[in-house]
Amino acid sequence: MKIAIFFRENAVFKGYHTFFTASERLTNNAYYAYYIRRDYMQLTYPAVFYEGEGGYSVEVPDLPGCTSGGSTLAEAILMGTDAASGWVLTELEDGKPIPQASPIKKIRPEAGGFVSMLVLDMDSYAEKYGNKAVRKNLTIPAWLNTFAEAKQINFSQVLQDSLTTIYKKEMAG
């Protein structure tokens, strides 16, 4: 039986990029099946933290423009993780490759800063915030169903449009 071997540069796995070092090549069917069954994507990126008057700022050097912050270190870690996850998810949904994480030892913060790792659980983040369609059941009166079917109304589109309108109003006000 053929065995799939994925490399860091171009591995695509279940719609997401999966990163392995050369020493982590898949070498047997059991290992391959393990990754298929697990079907998860966790990434780590080094982040640079700076303490300031209002709390902490965080920057992820490997993800251009990815910055965040929080009033406490714990909040900054959570916000940095959320920002990095959003950055990566956007790239994946746009079909773009995501940058490899730099080794933590190569990240040099400016004076007063320190480096720590952020762990991104991309499957959980994508499930919560991604553009992937989610199936929902709908209960409506029979007469309304008859009317909508006669007019060839797309129930999913009507519900999505309505919820998007409500969401936009909530976000604006």
Q: Is the pLDDT of residue 60 over 60?
A: yes
Phi, psi of 169 (to 5 degrees): -65, -40
Tokens (6 digits) for 144: 């309304």
What is the pLDDT, as a whole number, of residue 36? 36
Beta strands in the chain (DSSP E): 12-13, 16-17, 42-52, 55-59, 67-70, 113-121
Half-sphere exposure (Cβ direction) of 163: Cα atoms closer than 13 Å: 7
Q: Where are the domains of the chain?
A: 1-39, 40-129, 142-172
CB 31 within 8 A of CB 13: no
Residue-wise pLDDT for 113-126, tens only, equals 999 999 999 988 98
Share of the chain above pLDDT 90, in %: 54
- Options 3.30.160.250, 3.30.1330.10, 3.30.56.10, 2.40.30.10; CATH for 40-129 is 3.30.160.250
Residue-wise pLDDT for 69-122, tens only, equals 999 999 999 999 999 999 999 998 888 999 999 999 999 999 999 999 999 999
* Band of residue 40 on the pLDDT scale cut at 50, 70, 90: low
* Band of residue 18 on the pLDDT scale cut at 50, 70, 90: very low
If one counts every other C-beta atom within 10 angstroms of the C-beta of residue 30, the result is 8
